[in-house]
Chains A and B, each alone.
Chain A
Amino acid sequence: MSKIYLDHASSMPMDARVFEFAKPYLMASHGNPSSLHSVGLQAKQAVEESRSKISEFIHAENESTIIFTGGATEANNLAVKGAALRNITAGKAVVASVIEHMSVLNPMKELQKNGFSVTFIPVDSTGIVDLKKLEGALTKNTVLTTVMYANNEIGTIEPIREISKIVHEKGLYLHVDAVAAAGRIPIDVQKDGIDLLTLSSNDLYGPQGAGALYIKPGVKIQSVLLGGGQERGLRSGTENVFGIVGMGEAAHIAQKEMNRESSRLLPIRDRLITEILKIDQSYLTGHPLQRLPHHASFRFSYIEGESILLNMDMYDIQVSTGSACSSKTLEPSHVLLAIGLKHEEAHGSMVLTIGRSTTMDDVEPVSKASNETVQRLRKMSPMSQEWRK
């Protein structure tokens, strides 16, 4: 049986067309965009073309709204710390949803240590941010609110336009981490009312090591990485030209193909969900409808996620889990705990994220492997025996 890769939320393979397009910038066109000679100018031009593509991809006002970074973690750090510190005279309060990525939550906690008031907004059992609590948390001192477009672990899509309205009634800026959503659902930063938006190259089938932050014209932000002043002084350091050029092309392809691709993936995802939920004591995590078209996440009682991952890999099917045992911190996923799962329930999670290589033919072997995996592990588990008694 050939490999079935269902962990697109962790990393996507680079699209062959992206590699072909960006390849010259690995070797032949090696210029530094800051150099004034012809080789440098060629690189600069390629970076600027990529900036235009990214800007079009999210329907930004113009290309100078886009700042390239070394990845989404860097873009999130720049957005959170850069906006909070730059606007400290306007207020020292920031707000985030409790299910944000660690690259948002940890900078928030650092701000908290440095005297900022930080409020984390809970979500309901489907992962939707509590809008009433959000409204209640905002004050005139709230300089930054950050809510992700969609969650990478449970696939839930947040009501960003409503959130934007609420935030802008009292607060200053809305930052949106769109890493999981971009390329899966349409994003329009102007219509959505977004001030800062994070993108990742690798989550668009682009090369690893590139990301971008959209900064709405007029939004005040400061650098968190000081140096030679590249990227309007907001992200110093020689540009990763290959990564940036690849990211631009990846966004361009995603923009052209998203509607068709998402309509292709949706019935595959739904079949997967239907088949896997036939397993006894299996549950969907996240929102049943407001969810990303490529995302199917589950939990199974009485078994543990790392074992699920390893067992699925025996069938050459690559999946992900929010189990503590698979994480560096040995804590279960904060997202699964936030939607109200108990620790022992959060341990038994399995996340499937399908992509361009996935076909309807994969559904049967994946469902079969999931069922056999759950049965095998439950047979070994003292928990399931207790339940049977």
Chain B
Amino acid sequence: MANVGYSKKVMEHFMHPRNVGVIENPDGYGKVGNPVCGDVMEIFITVKDDIITDIKFRTFGCGSAIATSSMVTEIAKGKHIDEALKITRGDVASELDGLPAQKMHCSNLAADALHEAIKDYKSKKQQK
């Protein structure tokens, strides 16, 4: 089995990622990363009464980029947006039983993508 220093949980999320895909007309959309660096993540959310009722992601990147995206959607689903905004990169990594040191920075952008999606939702809501 592959071993680039990934935990079993990272590999499990890589092999069976949760919530992959697109939400048409999402209430919030966030995209972070840069293809030049090798990681791009986007998150789509559906929000009802400030609760994230549905969430999907798409990711271009390495094993940890895919696993962290999958994990952050799992953590955020069903949460109030204020709670979801408190989810940090560190939370995602520890829920995955850790990430290799060199992956902590570059491939752990999933929480940022979630925050962007929530900000997008909030600004759309204000415009209404």
Contacts and interface: CB of A to CB of B under 8 A. Distances in A.
A93 interface: no
Interface residues of A, number: 27
A35 interface: no
B60 A383 contact: yes
A343 B59 contact: no
A307 B80 CA distance: 32
B15 interface: yes
Given A303-B60, A325-B61, A325-B107, A310 B36 contact: no
B85 interface: no
A325 B58 contact: no
A332 interface: yes
B63 A307 contact: yes
B65 A304 contact: yes
Contacts of B40: 381-383
B11 interface: yes
Main SS at interface, chain A: helix
A326 B64 CA distance: 11
Contact of B60 (A313, A332, A381): A381
A310 B11 contact: yes
Contact of B58 (A313, A332, A343, A381): A381
B65 to A, nearest CB: 7
Interface string A365-389: 0000000000000011111010000
Interface string B86-128: 0000000000000000110011000000000000000000000
Contact of A313 (B1, B17, B59, B103): B1
A309 interface: yes
Given A304-B38, A313-B1, A314-B15, A379 B20 contact: yes
B38 A381 contact: no
Interface of B: 1-2, 4, 11, 14-15, 17, 20, 22, 31, 35-42, 58-63, 65-66, 102-103, 106-107
11 contacts: A303-B60, A304-B61, A304-B62, A305-B62, A310-B2, A324-B37, A330-B106, A347-B38, A380-B66, A381-B59, A381-B60
Given A307-B62, A323-B38, A382-B58, 19 more contacts: A302-B60, A304-B60, A306-B4, A309-B2, A310-B63, A313-B2, A324-B38, A325-B61, A325-B63, A325-B107, A326-B62, A328-B102, A347-B35, A380-B59, A382-B31, A383-B35, A383-B60, A385-B22, A385-B58
Interface of A: 302-307, 309-310, 313-314, 323-326, 328, 330, 332, 342-344, 347, 379-383, 385
